[in-house]
Amino acid sequence: MAENTRDIITGATILVFCGTVSLYFPVFGFLCFLLLPLPVIFYRVKLGSGASGAMVILALGFIWIIGSKNTVDVWLMLCMLGLGFALGDVLERNLSVEKTIAYPCGLVLAGGIAALFLLGNAAGSGPWDLTSAYVRKNLEMTAAAYKTMDMPERSIQLLTNSMDRVHYVVMRLMPAMAVAGLVFSAWANLLLARLALRAGGLRQPDFGHLNRWQAPDMLVWAVIACGLLMLIAGEPLSFIGINGLILLMLIYLFQGVAVVSFYFERKQVPLFLRILVYAFIAVQQIFALVVIGLGFFDTWADFRRLRAQGGGPGE
């Protein structure tokens, strides 16, 4: 019992620290925000649902006190904590990696949308208006941060003058960005959780060789359809096309990373070099686009020769 109490306090402290950094440190805080599910997954597996649930509630209470003026931010953190709890729960069911990610993301997405409606009604506006106000507030905070960082006056003026245009583009891409961010966070936390569980001597999921994972071949037709909708159709079909294309690019990013990881393993590339390459993929858009293209064309080129070895999509 004493050990459980100590773990609950330790886990809650980690979550409160990450939540506080997410609220008040925009750059490093974004990384902490994405990794909020990781401690929850670890302690959900270690402590079970009851003790880990108490840990999450305790942490959320402190986060609410610290960030009571940032209702939407706290709501987003609740979604991430819920994602971690759901991932930890699903890990015990020995599902495929696709279902392990899809089920928690679907649950959190449905709950998040419902909460957004409630927050919008409480604020006297709809969920879209609430989201729009939140995006504009963050754009204004970004412009203010640029001023404190001694950015060139021309860059600040350019951002200020194009604020409405940037706001329009972000809102148009918001559905895909929200879903893609949730899925990416689930994927990243799941990979890190396997390492953490192994280091803690806890049971970890066996998904087989993830560097052999492939997206279903039929998704290629979805990419073509979304591209056509985006290029030749008017609203609202182009809206559907561009959001669908963003989500499909994320799937092919996963496949591209699997291809890269496959050859890293085959060529026995040193760990530090692997980390360096993955870091470049994470922070440099051009590298990410190359990896997305690698994953997309792997459908035809079969870079890993999986079909010749009897492998297939989803292995």
Report yes or no: 45 and 203 within 8 Å, Cβ to Cβ: yes
**At residue 183, does pLDDT exceed 90?**
yes
CATH class for domain 1-120+176-204?
A: mainly alpha
**At residue 311, does pLDDT exceed 60?**
no
Structure tokens at 9: 């306090």
Between CA 79 and CA 106 the distance in angstroms is: 11
Close Cβ partners of 130 (under 8 Å, ≥ 6 residues apart): 72, 116, 119, 120, 123
Average the pLDDT over each of 55-69, 191-205, 217-231 and give the range with the smallest value. 55-69
* CA dist 308 → 142, 178, 210, 298 (Å): 50, 37, 18, 13
Output the average pLDDT for the chain: 86
* Confidence at residue 93, expressed as pLDDT on a 0 to 100 scale: 84
Residue 112: pLDDT band with limits 50, 70, 90: confident
Please indicate whether residue 66 or residue 260 has the higher confidence score (pLDDT). 260
For the chain, the domains span 1-120+176-204, 208-315
* Confidence at residue 5, expressed as pLDDT on a 0 to 100 scale: 87
* Confidence at residue 295, expressed as pLDDT on a 0 to 100 scale: 94
Residue 296: pLDDT band with limits 50, 70, 90: very high
Q: What is the mean pLDDT of residues 231-260?
A: 90
Residue 314: pLDDT band with limits 50, 70, 90: very low
* Confidence at residue 297, expressed as pLDDT on a 0 to 100 scale: 93
Q: What is the mean pLDDT of residues 257-266?
A: 93
The DSSP secondary-structure symbol of 92 reads: T
* Confidence at residue 249, expressed as pLDDT on a 0 to 100 scale: 95
Structure confidence by residue, pLDDT tens digits, 114-173? 888 887 777 777 778 888 888 888 888 777 777 776 667 777 777 778 888 888 888 889
From the list 120, 143, 121, the residue with the least C-alpha distance to 132 is: 120
* Confidence at residue 315, expressed as pLDDT on a 0 to 100 scale: 42
* Confidence at residue 1, expressed as pLDDT on a 0 to 100 scale: 60
Q: Is the peptide bond before 236 cis (omega within 30 degrees of 0)?
A: yes
Close Cβ partners of 133 (under 8 Å, ≥ 6 residues apart): 125
Residue 231: pLDDT band with limits 50, 70, 90: confident
* Confidence at residue 310, expressed as pLDDT on a 0 to 100 scale: 59
* pTM given for the model: 0.86
* Confidence at residue 233, expressed as pLDDT on a 0 to 100 scale: 67
Residue 313: pLDDT band with limits 50, 70, 90: very low
Q: What is the mean pLDDT of residues 97-111?
A: 93
For the chain, percent of residues with pLDDT exceeding 90: 41
**At residue 20, does pLDDT exceed 80?**
yes
**At residue 263, does pLDDT exceed 90?**
yes
Between CA 144 and CA 245 the distance in angstroms is: 32
